A and B are shown apart, each in its own frame.
Chain A
Amino acid sequence: MTAVTIELNGVKITDDVEPRQSLADFLRDSCGLTATHLGCEHGACGACTVVLDGKATRSCLTLAVMCDGRSVQTLEGLRIDPVMEMLRRLFHENHALQCGFCTPGMLIMARDILRRHSRPDIATVQHELSGQICRCTGYANIVKAIVAAGHEIANVATSEE
């Protein structure tokens, strides 16, 4: 076992991990943070996407031991994030989820897309979302919700100027 200190959703925690433990398993099994879902466990589906040092990250492709001294944000930690609040509302309004399994990864990735692109168009969102798999919705409504969020953020920014 190796001791790691991680800033998890803004709180410093110290815990012992086995070097072979993935960040995803650490979050779910050791920390009880089960918003992070595990689908494929080899980087193809995107359900386990979290934020590591500000960057979208596959928690199934990351070893917990390598996160020592770093900061990790999961969906639980983004409850009062303004962009995430907007995304939750727009996912609801646009019917951007059905079973909900992929949704945590979708939301994390959507927020990441909106941080890197202002007012992304459909093609940009589709390309950026290609690493997230959804088996229910056919993606159209997820893309619609993210495009709508991009417009809303841009409009808020303009009205505040």
Chain B
Amino acid sequence: MKPAPFDYVRPKSVAEASVALGRRGASTAAIAGGQSLVPMLALRVALPEILVDISRLEDLKIVTRTPDSVWLGALTTHAAIEDGETPDVFNGLMRRVAGQISYRAVRNHGTIGGSVALADPAADWPACLLALGTSLRVVGRNGVRVQSIDDFLKGAYETTLITGDIIMGFDIPSPPRSFRWGFAKVARKSGAFAHSLAVAVAAAKDSSVRVVLGAAGARPRSLVATASQLEIPNSTEEQIRAAITADLNAYFTDLDDYQKRMHTANVLRAARNMRAQ
């Protein structure tokens, strides 16, 4: 057994789980799919005294669709999204992103809530959900709060979550039917964390474009100049390259020449894929 010893509790409700997580004088951790947390426990990077199993809380498994948005409960697995068990109003974007996360056996248990709560700089969901303008609902000791994912993500493995907080789920605005997207990932091996992760979306051809780059800094960022350039019909690759360079310089300070070229190529690939749709 590699992890340090801990106590295990399996609360019956979200409220009970929040109380268990917020217990004074004890370090606690919530476990859902455990696909990142279990290795962290084994490496003793995470050292909770109490592990709170939230994986069976039905309130976190709700998936609904309204005319305006899709609600994905925090316990929705990558595999469920990959298989189209959740509403796919994104013309396949979320299915594509889900299907490239790690490996199937991991996707069967890893959850979208766990991925966002961990906030790995190279994770797929934070970047994708940022591109889709998602807000999330968090329940904690001070009640419920709704926050945009942009405000929620603070840095590498850093979010606004405090002790006792639990992500309930994600409210993702439904795009119009004309929605198009491009997704590009650089990874040394399929299933490995990305070295560059680019998501480009548009409400319609050349309109309301958003481009997000992940794995380039502490957290994914929206590339504003690149998005504006992609809203200009038939803007040239040279113009788009210049906009990407401007964005990289504005949002990511520590990139070396190789990384700049890699991210530029990757964002361009996502942009081209989006325009080709």
Contacts and interface: CB of A to CB of B under 8 A. Distances in A.
A114 to B, nearest CB: 13
Nearest to A41: B42
Interface stretch (B31-39, B160-168, B218-226): B31-39
B246 to A, nearest CB: 36
B3 A20 contact: yes
B51 A19 contact: yes
A6 interface: no
A65 B106 CA distance: 18
Nearest to B5: A20
Given A20-B41, A49-B105, A66 B34 contact: yes
B157 interface: no
Given A20-B41, A112-B104, A130-B103, A61 B5 contact: no
Interface residues on B, range: 20 to 34
Given A58-B106, A131-B104, A131-B191, A43 B35 contact: yes
Contacts of B2: 20, 41
A62 B191 contact: no
A19 B8 contact: yes
B7 A57 contact: no
Interface residues of A, number: 30
B39 A55 contact: no
A127 B190 contact: yes
B55 interface: yes
A159 interface: no
B108 A56 contact: yes
A130 B107 CA distance: 13
A127 B41 CA distance: 29
A21 B105 contact: no
Contacts of B34: 61-63, 66
Interface string A88-130: 0000000000000000000001001000000000000001101
Given A56-B105, A130-B191, 20 more contacts: A19-B7, A20-B2, A20-B3, A20-B6, A21-B1, A22-B42, A41-B39, A42-B39, A43-B38, A43-B103, A55-B105, A58-B109, A60-B38, A61-B109, A63-B31, A63-B34, A63-B38, A131-B104, A131-B191, A132-B103
27 contacts: A2-B8, A19-B51, A20-B2, A20-B41, A21-B1, A42-B42, A42-B43, A43-B38, A43-B103, A46-B105, A55-B79, A55-B109, A56-B104, A56-B105, A57-B105, A57-B108, A58-B105, A60-B38, A61-B34, A61-B38, A61-B109, A65-B8, A66-B31, A128-B104, A130-B103, A130-B191, A131-B103
Q: Which 5 A-B pairs have the closest CB atoms?
A: A131-B103, A19-B8, A42-B39, A20-B3, A55-B108
Interface of A: 2, 18-22, 25, 41-43, 46, 49, 52, 55-58, 60-63, 65-66, 109, 112, 127-128, 130-132
